[in-house]
Amino acid sequence: MESINFKGRDIISIRDFSKKDLLYVLSIAKKIERDSDATLLKNKIIALLFFEPSTRTRLSFGSATKRLGGNTIGFAKADVTSIKKGETLWDTIKMVEQYSDVIVMRHPIEGAARLAAEAASVPVINAGDGSNQHPTQTLLDLYTIQKEKGNLENLNIGFLGDLKYGRTVHSLVIALSHFNANMFFISPNALKMPKHYLEELKKKKIKFTEVQNLSKISKKLDVLYVTRIQKERFPDALEYEKYKNVYRLDKSLLKQSKKDLIIMHPLPRVGEINPELDDTKNAVYFKQAGNGIPIRQALLSLVLGKIK
């Protein structure tokens, strides 16, 4: 595969990636997973700025850095920083870039990552900006599909749950539109995919179907991407109660689906996937979380120019 120079590049939105870019990052992740060099990031300092709580993303960036011999600095809560004293994000970033070689940032405000990238002279990797983008999650989702299914082209992919607010779904839909996926959107009426995403798919001539009931289409699916109904997104607790248990997957799903269906979930899950599915070969959500390591190793190595 033709190499692409990522040195110095910011990783902010999946919209910034061409199909070639996506495939290239996945190929580097694969290489690193097979044979990683434990000194690749020696003497490099990665700043992990988590203005909002995160378990998986923060730990996996930390682990990815350390497995390649790099060091991390940072914080996991904004209330220990000068933000509390009224410092602007711009100033925080201008300060942190002096201390680090890459900035990884999660922030509750949408667009914060783009702004940070504009402020910083070192590469910025978006680890989630509010309900907007989480590109490293999307890349690890793609990597999981590619690993499990052998390729990314022409798959029947179902998205289930909160499609209105779920940023992981939105980004993955954009990414998969490069691979001629046939998409199925399964959600209650109140949590449907936003109209402008559907319009974008129509423009790109991507086939999609909206349904409320999974059993109607489950036989067709190669991949089922499940999301949590997010309590924090509902302005009204009563509304949340109405929807929280709409979908609860258990082993009965496997009777009405392809044998090699894979079930994915960005985690954390609450009640939408019964743990009885965990031991089946169809459930890949924990492997998916593990795939965050090679993807983040690949991205850190690429933006630092350590792999070309």
Partner 1 sequence: MKRELTVPAIKEGTVIDHIPSRVTFKVMRILDLKEFNHVVSVVINLKSKAMGKKGIIKVSNRFLTKDEVNKIAILAPHATVNIIKNYEVKEKINVNVPDELDNIIKCSNPNCVTNNEKVKTFFNVVNKSPLQVICHHCERVMETDDIKLI
Residues carrying an active site annotation: 56-57, 85, 106, 134
Is residue 212 within 8 Å of residue 186, measured between CB atoms?
yes
How far is residue 235's CA from residue 189's CA, in Å, rounded to a whole number? Answer: 17
Question: What is the smallest separation between the CB atom of 115 and partner 1, expressed in angstroms?
Answer: 5
Question: What is the smallest separation between the CB atom of 109 and partner 1, expressed in angstroms?
Answer: 5
Residue 151's contacts (CB-CB under 8 Å, 6 or more residues apart) are none
Cβ proximity to partner 1, 114 vs 265, nearer residue = 114
How far is residue 125's CA from residue 102's CA, in Å, rounded to a whole number? Answer: 8
Contact between 230 and partner 1 per CB under 8 A: no
Question: What is the smallest separation between the CB atom of 111 and partner 1, expressed in angstroms?
Answer: 3
Cβ proximity to partner 1, 110 vs 276, nearer residue = 110
DSSP 11: B
Q: What one-letter code names the amino acid at 163?
A: L
Contact between 133 and partner 1 per CB under 8 A: yes
Query: Which residues 56-115 are close enough to bind partner 1 by CB under 8 A?
Result: 88-90, 108-112, 114-115
Full DSSP string of 193-251 = PPHHHHHHHHHTT--EEEES-GGGTGGG-SEEEE----GGG-S-HHHHHHHTTS--B-T
Cβ proximity to partner 1, 108 vs 271, nearer residue = 108
DSSP 51: S
Cβ proximity to partner 1, 69 vs 130, nearer residue = 130
DSSP 267: S
Contact between 131 and partner 1 per CB under 8 A: yes
Q: How many residues bind partner 1 (CB under 8 A)?
A: 19
182 forms bridges with which residues in the sheet? Answer: 156
Q: What one-letter code names the amino acid at 280?
A: T
Question: What is the smallest separation between the CB atom of 3 and partner 1, expressed in angstroms?
Answer: 29
**Chain length of the chain:** 308
Choose the binding region for partner 1 from 58-66, 127-135, 208-216, 226-234 (rule: CB under 8 A): 127-135
Q: What one-letter code names the amino acid at 149?
A: K
Give the SS3 label for residue 162: coil
Question: What is the smallest separation between the CB atom of 110 and partner 1, expressed in angstroms?
Answer: 4
Answer for which of 129, 141, 148, 222 binds partner 1 (CB under 8 A) is: 129
Cβ proximity to partner 1, 112 vs 176, nearer residue = 112
Choose the binding region for partner 1 from 66-74, 125-133, 175-183, 264-272 (rule: CB under 8 A): 125-133
How far is residue 24's CA from residue 1's CA, in Å, rounded to a whole number? Answer: 7
Question: What is the smallest separation between the CB atom of 170 and partner 1, expressed in angstroms?
Answer: 9
Choose the binding region for partner 1 from 39-47, 123-131, 157-165, 282-290 (rule: CB under 8 A): 123-131
CA 181 to chain centre: 18
Contact between 290 and partner 1 per CB under 8 A: no
Element (H, E) at 140: helix 135-149
How far is residue 241's CA from residue 262's CA, in Å, rounded to a whole number? Answer: 28
Cβ proximity to partner 1, 91 vs 241, nearer residue = 91
Contact between 196 and partner 1 per CB under 8 A: yes
Which residue ranges make up the site for partner 1 (CB under 8 A)? Answer: 13, 15, 88-90, 108-112, 114-115, 129-133, 194, 196
